[in-house]
Amino acid sequence: MVMVETGLSKSMNARTIGSGDETVVLAHGYGGDQSMWDKIVPYLARQYRVVVFDWSFSGAVNDPNLFDPVKYSTFDAFADDLISLLEEMNLKSSVFVGHSMSGMIGCIASIKRPELFKRLILVAASPRYINLEDYEGGFESSDVEQLLSSIESNFHQWASSFASRVVDPNDPTTVDKFKNSLQRMSPEAALSTAKLIFHSDQRDMLEKVTIPCTIIQTTHDLAVPISIGYFMQKKIKAKSTVEIIDTNGHFPQLTAHLQFLERRNKQKKPYQTYPLASLSLSFSLSLSLFPSPHLLPQQSNMVMVETSLSKSMNARTIGSGDETVVLAHGYGGDQSMWDKIVPYLARQYRVVVFDWSFSGAVNDPNLFDPVKYSTFDAFADDLISLLEEMNLKSSVFVGHSMSGMIGCIASIKRPELFKRLMLVAASPRYINLEDYEGGFESSDVEQLLSSIESNFHQWASSFASRVVDPNDPTTVDKFKNSLQRMSPEAALSTAKLIFHSDHRDMLEKVMIPCTIIQTTNDLAVPTSVGYFMQKKIKAKSTVEIINTNGHFPQLTAHLQFLEVLGGVLEPKVEPSKSRGS
């Protein structure tokens, strides 16, 4: 279950996901919000009570007056908030995972109230950032003053530059995720909190920490040199270990989340990894903390990168199993649109994700040819070729938006390649007729196309805020950034194809069983379209309505989305013992 709290926890957007005897509290760092944990929460929530929240400085908090720069001029003030939060939520002996500045906050809170903590996991944390003769903090004093001056003079420009430096540049989705979260901070909160962090020195405090610690760092973090991890290990009096994750940047929970959820099995062969070990063993989140062969993909559940056409389309195979699930994104998206559900599916299935030729995620700008891709058949042919090249037959195809119709066409041409079609927010026609509700008038479509042509990036920002649930700004930004990475030519050409299409008659030829998934309020696809499709498709088909707003239920209501998949796939997908959101 997902529980939203009240009181202080309400002000801090605290949420409890999952259930279990053990509690894991995840605290984000500077510039972040609770979405920094998106990739690992689905694993943990299967068996543990997971608590996430937003610090007062975060741009995700609803009350702009929650952050007081005078009050929050010390780490102790944040530690007091953490203690109050845990008390209000009646949490004791929790595992606290603190990223970046939250590592030191957790240490201070544990000194004040040790009974509230079972273990501290300090991720990319540092007690001091400025170098001394006998200490490598990572920054010279002049570097810090320049950084603070840049925040003060042009915060948003600095935030964009800073994000690209502290996040692995090979992961542009995470760069954008952190940049957007950072830019949502108020400039006042950003400057005040940065001064606190970069002028702090918590080295002597470490000696007072009596709670067992795991210190997690990456092989290359611009903000926190590896030497700091070993310095902290030496200073902390409690038992502590250092775990190094082989990735770049300051956010291993996002850029290397599977490694973050693993650790070395020191009782087996060197560097052999195994899923989260027992909480009764006092090891790390790397997550040797947590018991369960069910939280992570098993060793055989490898990630394979394909070649040839599949390489051009960035195809990846995650997990293993007798059943194959192919996930195809829609217009403006890329394979990251499936990020929230892949971890669940990869436990039991062979999951294939890829990027269509129009996507801004493809490396070859010449892959998209507007003449070639002027029909849905061209995309369907690519899908067929991809499945053939990867030797996939009788797959479950999950097609979002325009990919729903692409999957239908491909299934008519090559039915043996498909076992079931799952059509998510799909539509055969977008323009209204007297006897058909498509969702748009012809004039709406022409205005939309004109806006793409005249100012694509401005239109993309506006469109994203309209088709994604506005109560989920993280997903709004995720889709906006993906959409804006498209070339304007590909964006306009593909939009014309989609909005001028009419595949209603094609539906009668679909012989593969279908599940039609829609949301209660989708600006692009009215609910009536789902029932129209069910009536037209000759194969057995069902309609499933997910109670959420917008065009992206796999992101804005992923647990409900997984329930629907669980009703179709064998063996069943089980997002958690208590489902819902």
Over residues 75-89, the mean pLDDT reads 95
Summarised one tens digit per residue, pLDDT across range 5-24 is 447 888 999 999 887 889 99
Lowest mean pLDDT among 131-135, 167-171, 412-416, 547-551: 167-171
Lowest mean pLDDT among 171-175, 318-322, 350-354, 573-577: 573-577
Q: How many CB atoms lie within 10 A of CB 37?
A: 23
pLDDT given at position 173? 84
pLDDT given at position 18? 81
Summarised one tens digit per residue, pLDDT across range 452-473 is 999 999 999 999 999 999 888 8
pLDDT given at position 365? 83
pTM of the model: 0.55
Confidence label for 319 from pLDDT (cuts 50, 70 and 90): confident
- CATH 3.40.50.1820, the chain: domain bounds: 2-275, 303-566
Q: Which CATH topology does 303-566 take? A: Rossmann fold (3.40.50)
The overall average pLDDT reported for the chain is 87
pLDDT given at position 506? 96
pLDDT given at position 573? 59
pLDDT given at position 270? 30
421 by DSSP, 3-state: which?
strand
pLDDT given at position 445? 96
pLDDT given at position 574? 57
Q: Strand runs (DSSP E) across 345-405, as ranges?
A: 350-353, 395-400
As annotated, the active-site residues are 100, 221, 250
> Which residue bears the tokens 């050409």?
493
Summarised one tens digit per residue, pLDDT across range 222-278 is 999 999 999 999 999 899 999 999 889 999 999 988 888 874 333 333 322 323 332
Summarised one tens digit per residue, pLDDT across range 190-224 is 999 999 999 999 999 999 999 999 999 999 999 99
Nearest to 288 by CA among 119, 103, 110, 42: 119
Measure Cα distances from 126 to 167, 190, 465 in Å. 17, 18, 37
Instruction: Select the more confidently predicted residue: 577 or 501.
Output: 501
Please check the confidence at residue 387 and state whether its pLDDT lies above 80: yes
Q: Which CATH topology does 2-275 take? A: Rossmann fold (3.40.50)
Cβ 147 vs Cβ 198: under 8 Å: yes
Amino acid at 34: Q
Please check the confidence at residue 413 and state whether its pLDDT lies above 80: yes
Over residues 68-76, the mean pLDDT reads 94
Cβ 179 vs Cβ 164: under 8 Å: yes
Please check the confidence at residue 366 and state whether its pLDDT lies above 60: yes
Residues 6+ apart with CB under 8 A from 543: 516, 518, 530, 531, 534
Nearest to 58 by CA among 173, 200, 159, 183: 183
| Measured distance CA(122)–CA(146) in Å, rounded | 27
Summarised one tens digit per residue, pLDDT across range 323-345 is 999 999 999 999 999 998 988 89
Instruction: Select the more confidently predicted residue: 280 or 6.
Output: 6
Rounded to a whole number, what is the largest CA-CA distance in the chain? 78
pLDDT given at position 41? 87
Lowest mean pLDDT among 115-129, 293-307, 427-441: 293-307
Nearest to 282 by CA among 299, 298, 263: 263
pLDDT given at position 328? 98
Rounded percentage of the chain residues whose pLDDT exceeds 90: 73
Please check the confidence at residue 576 and state whether its pLDDT lies above 60: no
